[in-house]
Amino acid sequence: MITFDEVTKRYPDGTVAVDRLSLEAPTGEITVLVGPSGCGKTTSLRMINRMIDASEGRILLDGVPVEGIDPPTLRRGIGYVIQQAGLFPHRKIVDNVATVPYLLGWDRRKARDRAMELLERVGLDPSLAGRYPFQLSGGQQQRVGVARALAADPPVLLMDEPFSAVDPIVRTSLQDELLRLQAELNKTIVFVTHDIDEAIKLGDRVAVLRVGGTLAQLADPKTLLSRPADDFVREFLGHDRGIRRLQFVPTSGLELRTDLAVAPGASGPDGEPWHLALTPEGRPAGWVPRDEPERLERYGTFVLGRDSLRSALDAALLSPSGCAVAVDGDGKVVGVATRDALDRALAEAADG
């Protein structure tokens, strides 16, 4: 666990970057520091591994004040990932990843074996090991950065806007990768971003900082979205806070209709403008309008129980019938959520 105890950082020019910050980053969780530019995120992060020393207050690592630990020793036990990856241009990928094991005096062979293992872990082709960093794409470099930070298996990982320099698609896949890795590794991660969506997606806990380096709110993402502490947080969360909140509302409670899904050849129930035609395997084929039984229209699906109410709503908006198709993990239709059912779920979510 990382503890900030009334930590203040005043730079020599008088700038107060962090102001009496107290927070805890629990072991095995991702704590996200989020806030506008200049609110002291990087400063806070770097005080943990003593790249910057706090002016007042203390930072504890599992109860031990970091100020008492020799910086190089401290840092070798803390993984660090930054925006530009910071890879060494003159070293091959495998040696970049093995940097900290080398520093720790591991046998060269063992360090390289470990590096190869990690490359695979972060989803990189081992054939990249012999390349130099400039021969990799930005997304690949960022993965190498993550592998390098994990090489000596540090319990703590500090990440400073690690994914903000790559395009949105790569960013999404890197985020998913991080969540997958974290499910296996259970590191104590402090993650800095200025992107609230990223914070909500990745954080077990999110600390919103305001300029001047004070803590505006510390909460899990769901609470943050449903009960922002003040106007600053509300504004920072953005206008579509309500919609985003839906991604934390489960679909398991949705009322589904099964009569609207119709086996091949059969006709739909009476009085319904649309029905869902199924394939022989029980997967959706398309929406059929009452008046034109030959037509098949677009449909949207969500995986019942796994996907959020936001996905269900999205699925509904994608089809002309206005209904969302609920499927199981294999893609087989389990029912249909009508507008009415979605409405009732939304009303419940708004209360909760």
Partner 1 sequence: MGSGPPTLWEWIARNWDTGRADSIRNLLLDHLVMSLTPVLFSLLAALPLGLACARWRRLYQPTSGLMNVIYALPSLPVFMLLISVTGLSQTTVIIPLTFYGMAVLIPAVVDGLASVPDHVRQAAVAMGFTPARRLLTVELPIAVPVVLSGLRVVAVSSISLVSVGALIGQGGLGGLFTRAYQNPFTPPVIVGIVLVVALALVADGVLVLAQRLLTPWVRARRPA
| Nearest to partner 1 of 125, 231 (CB atom) | 125
User: Are the CB atoms for 112 and 151 separated by under 8 Å?
Assistant: no
Q: Which of 67, 106, 128, 132 binds partner 1 (CB under 8 A)?
A: 132
* 82 counts as binding partner 1 under rule CB under 8 A: yes
The span of 130-138, 180-188, 193-201, 261-269 binding partner 1 (CB under 8 A) equals: 130-138
**In the bound complex, what is the minimum distance in angstroms from residue 208's beta carbon to Mg ion?**
15
**Beta-ladder partners of 301:** 325
| Nearest to partner 1 of 86, 155 (CB atom) | 86
| 39: partner contacted, choices Mg ion, partner 1, ligand ATP, none (Cβ within 5-8 A by kind) | ligand ATP
| Nearest to ligand ATP of 41, 171 (CB atom) | 41
Q: Which of 1, 16, 51, 185 binds partner 1 (CB under 8 A)?
A: 51
**In the bound complex, what is the minimum distance in angstroms from residue 164's beta carbon to partner 1?**
13
The span of 36-44, 125-133, 143-151, 198-206 binding Mg ion (CB under 5 A) equals: 36-44
- Helix extents (H) in 122-268: 138-150, 168-185, 196-202, 221-226, 231-237, 241-245
- How far is C-alpha 221 from the chain's CA centre? 11
| Nearest to partner 1 of 103, 334 (CB atom) | 103
* 134 counts as binding partner 1 under rule CB under 8 A: yes
**In the bound complex, what is the minimum distance in angstroms from residue 288's beta carbon to partner 1?**
54
Q: Which of 13, 125, 184, 292 binds ligand ATP (CB under 6 A)?
A: 13
**In the bound complex, what is the minimum distance in angstroms from residue 45's beta carbon to partner 1?**
10
* 164 counts as binding partner 1 under rule CB under 8 A: no
* 210 counts as binding partner 1 under rule CB under 8 A: no
Q: Report the chain's C-alpha Rg in angstroms.
A: 25
- Helix extents (H) in the chain: 41-48, 71-76, 93-97, 99-103, 108-121, 138-150, 168-185, 196-202, 221-226, 231-237, 241-245, 309-318, 339-351
* 42 counts as binding Mg ion under rule CB under 5 A: yes
**In the bound complex, what is the minimum distance in angstroms from residue 103's beta carbon to ligand ATP?**
26
Of the CA atoms within 13 Å of residue 129, those in its CB half-sphere come to 17
User: Are the CB atoms for 248 and 299 separated by under 8 Å?
Assistant: no
User: Are the CB atoms for 321 and 297 separated by under 8 Å?
Assistant: yes
Structure tokens of 57?
């207050």
Q: Which residues contact 35 (CB under 8 A, 6 or more apart)?
A: 41, 194, 208, 209, 210, 211, 216, 236
| 135: partner contacted, choices partner 1, Mg ion, ligand ATP, none (Cβ within 5-8 A by kind) | partner 1
Q: Which run of H or E residues covers position 23? A: strand 16-25
Helix (H, G, I), strand (E, B) or coil at 163: coil
Site for ligand ATP in 32-61 (CB under 6 A): 37-43
φ, ψ dihedrals at 196, nearest 5°: -65, -35
| 17: partner contacted, choices Mg ion, ligand ATP, partner 1, none (Cβ within 5-8 A by kind) | ligand ATP
Q: Which of 91, 121, 194, 257 binds ligand ATP (CB under 6 A)?
A: 194
3-class SS shares of the chain: helix, strand, coil, % to 5: 35, 25, 40
- The neighbour count for residue 109, using CB atoms within 10 Å, is 8
Q: What is the binding site for ligand ATP (CB under 6 A)?
A: 11, 13, 15, 17, 37-43, 194
Q: What is the binding site for partner 1 (CB under 8 A)?
A: 49, 51, 71-76, 78, 80, 82-91, 99-100, 103, 132, 134-135, 148, 158
Q: What is the binding site for Mg ion (CB under 5 A)?
A: 42
